[in-house]
Structure 1
């Protein structure tokens, strides 16, 4: 008897995330390493987890999620204008570059350079897929009911 994904299952699965234009944003298959998820741990949105509930090992499913159900809407408060002097003098700052920033608590957070104008650098700390409708394709490899 196959185990179904429940609210506290540990799930081993492959996924592919596609954008509205069909381009692949991320895929575990490209890296040859499946993802492991503990349902209910907060790493995925409730609606994403709801799409997985009831699936069994061997199941394949495709579902579409809007920004609020996937990576969130773009939050203007996460876009910051910073002085060029806050960056190393020899650092190449060009649009699209992803830089790592240290938060006051010591945690690292990525930021995407959205623009450089004179002494001002615009850095976006939103998730790169924020504001996008995405298509998730999943293949469930294993389901463990025992939890973490």
Structure 2
């Protein structure tokens, strides 16, 4: 079976990133490895991943390898200053699941949007009564270099299609 819309895809890969700064590109460095013990599964065509990522995987079959680069503009784009916000520290209470040290600079805070979907923000600076958070995607501004293999391709179930995500061992548990 080949990767098409509404298939569940399982990948193993290494993701390296690089950034162009003042016309000098940094050497790619590894930021994520998904191996056979922890493959990455997603619903093709409904993943929320960059469009170009899915486009370059379309038509591949189980066992096929892949190697491609997404330029920052094809991936998560450039940083948006409007995604950097000062939030009152009073919103990050222990009653809401926040612990001491979570607001330290450089940490990523696990948050939820207004619809209950998980999201994260990077703590940029402690401003006293407020904390400066960056809600941009962590890979914004980077070129993404993927090298890996298609581990599995299968038809999505009706339930997966109606929920919009993968269920079971490698997906969402309800």
Task: Answer yes or no: same fold by TM over 0.5.
Answer: yes
Structure 2 CA distance for aligned equivalents of residues 7 and 106 of structure 1 = 26
Are 2:73 and 1:68 equivalent residues in the alignment? yes
- The Cα of 1:71 is off from its aligned counterpart by 2.6
Q: Which runs of 5+ in 2 are unaligned?
A: 19-26, 158-174
Q: 1:25 aligns with which of 5, 10, 31?
A: 31
* 1:139 corresponding residue in structure 2: 149
Q: Which residue of 2 aligns with 1:10?
A: 8
Q: CA deviation at 1:109?
A: 2.5
Aligned residues: 144
Aligned residue in 2 for 1:54: 59
* TM value normalised by structure 1: 0.80
Q: 1:130 and 2:136 equivalent?
A: no
Alpha-carbon separation, structure 1, partners of 2:126 and 2:145: 32
Q: Structure 1's 58 and 105: CA in aligned 2 closer, same or farther, altered over 3 A?
A: closer
| Structure 1 residues 61-85: Cα deviation after superposition (integer angstroms, max 9, x where no partner) | 1110022322333222211012344
SS in 2 for 1:139: strand
Aligned Cα RMSD in Å?
2.4
Q: What is residue 94 of structure 1 aligned with on the other side?
A: 104
1:102 Cα offset (Å): 4.0
Where do 5+ consecutive residues of structure 1 fail to align? none
Segments of 4+ in structure 1 off by > 6 A? Answer: none
1:85-138: CA deviation from partner (whole Å, max 9, x where unpaired)? 444498333210111234444444311101123434210111111111110112
Q: Report the more deviating stretch, 87-96 or 48-57.
A: 87-96
Partner Cα separation in structure 2 for residue 8 and residue 118 of structure 1: 48
- Name the TM-score, length of structure 2 as normaliser: 0.70
